[in-house]
Amino acid sequence: MSAETQTPAENPEAPAPEEPRSRQVLREIAESSSMVVFMAIVASMVIGGILVILADEAVRESAAYFFSRPGDTFAAIGDALGAAYSAMFNGAVLNLGADSFAGMIKPFTQTLTLATPLIFAGLGLGIGFRAGLFNIGAQGQLLIGATVGAYLGFAFELPWGIHLLLAVLGCALGGALWGFIPGILKARRGAHEVIVTIMLNYVALHLVAWLLSLEAFQREGSDNPISPIVAETAQYPKILGVQFNLHLGFLLALACAWGAWWLMERSTLGFRLRAVGANPSAARTAGMSIGTATIITMVIAGALAGLAGSAPVLGTQKFLTDAVAGSIGFDAITVALLGRSRPLGIVLAAILFGGLQASGPSLQVNAGLPVDIVVVIQALIVLFIAAPPLVRWMFHLPSPAHEKEVAA
């Protein structure tokens, strides 16, 4: 289980009192874990850039005669990097080449759309991490949630509003059920949640694949494992008009982020969960039930992961396949760690990952780069985040004066 550093905001007594105010602020920024996160992102973008250069054919060709005409190599490097970073920017933030305002901001709305399921699932995992549970099962919880939600969406005809509400609740309930199983197994029988959740991912995947082989989950007249399209009454409405994919699920995700913050920081229940996570023995001595806390945490985490499943089936893809979860459940682990398990951090990390994912098509089509570069950058971010001393050493950041360790 990874240890984490508390940010100076939560740890105000950290800096030495004799430092002048301005230096103190600088020092707080440099020491903070957010600075490490930011520099980790910068470092991985730079290394990603080096890989782009190495992979570029024009660079390799011109490097062969580097000493007779070095200018060619630098020009080729510039072209390769320029194409890659501008494709990323155009694909994830603003499309400067578009001829309308809508076309210009479309990439950012796409980023937010792709971030939506990551926010949901990341929040669930973050709550688990803070309560001391390393839940690897978001993928399975998401799949079951998506299955229940999609089924309610395509199999029933209900009026507007009620149908969507029911389908969204179905997603949450499906995920909650899949989270409840490892929760109760751990609470009552001590089964380790990592193993149980990983195995339940496989159970969920094959369960969905089997369901999709049944007539009830297939489209009429076809044997392909694709469910019918979810009824329009159960789809998330598009919040910025039909030309954008951004749907109501994003606002729901933000609401959940606020809810998760309130739960963990303001409610008694959240205090209990954090206490159990920080020190189970102390929490037990103080009269808290570890088992109940475990079950509650896993149910909440599962429900949020299940809601992540609503983003594809009710928002973007609108039908169920066994690949509907993609790698959301696993990316969400990274998002939760990157966001330091805090709701605001998770929202920002999810938007970063959404942006990286949104830049994929543009990188491939406009810059001719393999999509794997995005995965490499994501992996590098994780690598640097996991090793704060490495990042501090690389950028000569000072070590925190008082590093306060808490169990994540």
Nearest by Cα to 354 from 385, 316, 300: 316
Out of 191, 280, 326, 382, the residue judged to bind other proteins by CB under 8 A: 326
Instruction: Establish if 65 lies at the interface with other proteins (CB under 8 A).
Output: yes
Out of 91, 153, 174, 249, the residue judged to bind other proteins by CB under 8 A: 91
- 293 in Cβ contact with 112 (< 8 Å): no
Nearest by Cα to 227 from 142, 149, 340: 149
Task: Report the chain's C-alpha Rg in angstroms.
Answer: 23
User: Looking at beta carbons only, is 147 or 317 nearer to other proteins?
Assistant: 317
- 304 in Cβ contact with 119 (< 8 Å): no
Question: What sections of 311-397 are H helices per DSSP?
Answer: 328-338, 343-366, 372-386, 388-394
Instruction: Establish if 360 lies at the interface with other proteins (CB under 8 A).
Output: yes
Least separation in angstroms between CB 52 and other proteins: 16
Out of 55, 198, 219, 278, the residue judged to bind other proteins by CB under 8 A: 219
Least separation in angstroms between CB 360 and other proteins: 6
3-class secondary structure, 125:
helix
Out of 81, 211, 229, 387, the residue judged to bind other proteins by CB under 8 A: 229
Out of 22, 222, 268, 285, the residue judged to bind other proteins by CB under 8 A: 222
User: Looking at beta carbons only, is 20 or 221 nearer to other proteins?
Assistant: 221
95 CB-side CA count, 13 A = 22
Instruction: Establish if 66 lies at the interface with other proteins (CB under 8 A).
Output: yes
Number of residues that bind other proteins (CB under 8 A): 47
Stretch near other proteins under the rule CB under 8 A, chosen from 37-45, 145-153, 271-279, 320-328: 320-328
Stretch near other proteins under the rule CB under 8 A, chosen from 39-47, 191-199, 222-230, 286-294: 222-230
Nearest by Cα to 400 from 16, 43, 19, 41: 16
Out of 194, 269, 366, 379, the residue judged to bind other proteins by CB under 8 A: 366
Q: How far apart are CA 295 and CA 299, in angstroms?
A: 6
Instruction: Name residues whose C-beta falls within 8 Å of residue 257's C-beta, 6 or more positions apart in sequence.
Output: 119, 123, 343, 344, 346, 347
List of E strands, 142-286: none
Q: What are phi and psi of 156, to 5 degrees?
A: -120, 155
- The binding site for other proteins (CB under 8 A) comprises 63-69, 72, 91, 110, 114, 206, 209, 213, 219-226, 229, 245, 312, 316-319, 321, 323-324, 326-328, 357-358, 360-362, 364-366, 368, 370-371, 375
